[in-house]
Structure 1
Amino acid sequence: MRRTDRLFDIIQILRDGKLHRAQDMADQLEVSVRTIYRDMDTLVASGVPVAGERGVGYMITDAITLPPLTLTAPELEALNLGLAIVAEVADPDLRAAGLSLAEKIDAVLPTAVVEEADAWKFAVYPFADALRGATHMPTLRAAIKARQKLRIVYTSIGGMVTTRTIRPLHMEYWGRVWTLTAWCELREAFRVFRIDLIETAEALPELFTNEPGKMLSDYVP
């Protein structure tokens, strides 16, 4: 059973409002008690209103809950942009709500995504960065689909500004920051660009074809 499915099953068990022992849930879901403890910590971190403690039991309190959702990349992008806008407004209550919602989303992302986001240290960047990068999304998406070269002006984390011609291949989401994997003609190698650090992105009339060594399938992180 996938972890996301198990978390959903735990919520369904707890929704009756009764106290449930970790051992009973572990037996029902055929996992260890230690796994249940870890899952409960994840649910609490994601904002699920769970009361209880280890050795006693857990129960869920009243709250607004949503059914499990499977988001496409464009839907996740739209959600990311919406959170970025809310987090930049002046209303402190809305700002706090936006940050809280973002933390809940991060908490239920697939484990591999969370681990990679932590390794890249992207989750700590402010929403203003995500909002800035979102303006390039339509151009990047269209170029990936059309296999169209791009000319970008890019500012590295160290502050160096370069102009590059790239073959855009793939976009990924890393905890509120998007990245673009591309073949960089300046470096003659694969590069991963933080989209919020792209200053300008211009679609060129030149298209590219799949060439051995320059395709996404050839890229090794």
Structure 2
Amino acid sequence: MNRLDRLFAILVLLQSKKYVTAESISERFDISLRTVYRDIKALGASGIPISYEAPRGYFIVAGFFLSPVAFSMEESSALLLMEKMVRALADKATADQYSRAMTKIRSVMKSSQQDLLDILDENTQLQFSANWLLQENFIPKVQNAIAHKQQLQIQYKDKSEQQSLRLIEPVGLIFYAFSWHIFAWCHLRQDYRDFKLNRILQVLEPGTGFEKTDHLPISHFMENLPVNY
């Protein structure tokens, strides 16, 4: 990647997050910290209002807007493939949201790219078992609860078909063993539990924040999955 492309990519990265550390930029683009500092200075000199807040990192001052991004054919093809995977592995609400996002992306493409993407769309298919598909649109509610640290009340059916009402604090959403799982603090058990999403019968959002303030990171659960995925 030449420097001009890298500067543009750093700008896009800064617009995609609230804060970006120099270390994360260095790792993302495989450059030294000294080069990161030079690139940030160059972006500032070109008129991009970049500021810094310790220890969070760099950020673009509110009010700056970058014109619509142009997508390469390779990037567009990857997004198309992900759309099909989302439709196969997520719930309908999530798949519909992704499709709407793809429509916006297609709208900024050149007509020649749109034509090529249509050909790929028609000739790329995924085959998954219907048993893997989620019947209820719970993923958006779970994601919202994780992001805003909000409790959920779920009606849950375990592998013995026993139903119970649980008040949980969802820490993370993990896909493993061909199923979506919520890792959450369960108020009933006073411990963390792994709830399989397709065993949840109902999800309610009581609008209550987390009571527990020192939850384990999602990396802890990833390291201790019951299967090697």
Same fold (TM over 0.5): no
Q: TM-score, normalised by structure 2?
A: 0.42
Q: TM-score, normalised by structure 1?
A: 0.43
